[in-house]
Amino acid sequence: VTQIERPTLKRRLLSAIEADPPRIPIVLGLGGSGRTTLLLELQYELGKERSQYLDVEQTATTPEHFFRSLTANSPFNA
């Protein structure tokens, strides 16, 4: 298992998000490894007008319910 120091990981994630074209990074890790904290820190740094944190574990179980849940609470709806 490779472990990356938090400042390095944050820089890599921000680089992916701010790349042209932007990429969507995926953060994997065991429970309690700090993923949620990391993602909430990134959301704070990027600002809510540029990012959205979605707790997928708490969303509905079907794709349709997931989509409705996502779009109902998204600041990025057209």
Is 0.85 topped by the overall pTM?
A: no
Map out the domains of the chain as residue ranges. Answer: 6-72
- Rounded CA separation 73/33 (Å): 27
pLDDT digits (tens, 9 = 90+) for 19-67: 999 888 888 888 898 988 998 999 999 888 888 877 777 666 788 887 8
Highest mean pLDDT among 3-7, 13-17, 60-64: 13-17
- Rounded CA separation 37/41 (Å): 6
Contact by Cβ (8 Å): 70, 59? yes
Please name which of 6, 44, 3, 9 lies closest in space to residue 26, comparing C-alpha atoms. 9
